[in-house]
Amino acid sequence: MTAIRRAWLATPIVALLALAGTPLRARPSPKQDSPIANPTPADLERGKQTFETTCSTCHGLDGGGAMGPNIQGIPFRLGADAVTNVIKNGMSGGMPPFSAQLDSTQIQQIVGYLLTLSHKDTGTVTGDAAKGKGVYDSSGCAGCHIVSGLGSGIGPELTKVGHLRGPGYLRNAVLYPGTDLPQARVFLESGGLLDYLFIHAVTNDGHAFDGTRVVEDSFRIVIKDARGEFHSFRKADLRELKKEPGKSTMPSMKGKLSDAQVNDLVAYLAGLKGDQ
């Protein structure tokens, strides 16, 4: 069956897959530069004001996401240059360009402000990070995530997740996967697409498949399952095609790990800041 499905991925879809698939496996390592060498409190305050008047309608008042994705701390993940670029030039999926509206100082102030949002999380770390690494290693996390070059990349890279996300968010991500998924299609710096729309498909001959959408047009859809395998379908061959926004391919650890283990795991993740 896989062989037949793979044959489907001929020519144009293969090109799209290459775009959509590779960045998850080999995401560019985030750049180290910081947006403003030393943003003053006044810079950050102005960044906050500009953000609230210009960006919050789509990204939420706290940057936590609305119609656009969660961009709290995003310069840590994409690099300050890439974020500056996105703000100036926009992105094809609904992010408008702001080069005509904002000057480069204002943009830098916003980037500085976005960095401060990474730590706005009320959760606290109570566990033991060293034990948490053991929990990470024995729970199959590396089957879907990369930390410092180790693992594989169906899920987002976690090398700097402690910079990007606070402990409360991390706990939530592990216990209730999918609750904070971007509500819009997120395009990666490298040209790929990070789209977490969960799909449940059943073929006319009764085989069921679950995964996230990779590409879709009027006639076909390609999904990627939790093992990272691609499945391509002609829509005419499907008896059922259900889109389940907010659902995740990541298994919940609720009930699989003890409270203490979850605390340790959160401590480990919160400590992943990209420094060796």
**Footprint of ligand HEC on this chain (CB under 6 A)?**
54-55, 57-59, 68-69, 71, 74, 83, 86-87, 91-96, 98, 110, 136, 139-141, 143-145, 154-156, 161, 164-165, 170, 173-174, 177-178, 181, 184-187, 196, 226, 248-251, 253, 265, 269
The percent of the chain in helix, strand and coil, each rounded to the nearest 5, is 40, 15, 45
Please, what is the minimum distance in Å from the beta carbon of residue 233 to ligand HEC? 20
CA distance 264 to 20: 33
Q: How far is CA 123 from CA 85, 157, 172, in A?
A: 32, 21, 10
Neighbours of 12 (CB within 10 A): 10
Rank residues 12 and 97 by Cβ distance to ligand HEC and give the closer one.
97
Write the single-letter amino acid at 96: P
Token look-up 């003053």 returns: 40
The residue number with the shortest CB distance to ligand HEC is 93
Rank residues 234 and 243 by Cβ distance to ligand HEC and give the closer one.
243
Q: What tokens appear for 138 in the block?
A: 């024995």
Please, what is the minimum distance in Å from the beta carbon of residue 138 to ligand HEC? 9
Q: What tokens appear for 258 in the block?
A: 């003890």
CA distance 110 to 77: 16
Rank residues 48 and 165 by Cβ distance to ligand HEC and give the closer one.
165
Please, what is the minimum distance in Å from the beta carbon of residue 203 to ligand HEC? 22
Please, what is the minimum distance in Å from the beta carbon of residue 149 to ligand HEC? 17
Rank residues 160 and 239 by Cβ distance to ligand HEC and give the closer one.
160
Rank residues 150 and 235 by Cβ distance to ligand HEC and give the closer one.
150
Please, what is the minimum distance in Å from the beta carbon of residue 246 to ligand HEC? 9
Q: Which residues contact 3 (CB under 8 A, 6 or more apart)?
A: none
User: Which H helix or E strand runs over 61?
Assistant: none
Rank residues 11 and 92 by Cβ distance to ligand HEC and give the closer one.
92
Please, what is the minimum distance in Å from the beta carbon of residue 243 to ligand HEC? 14
CA distance 24 to 193: 9
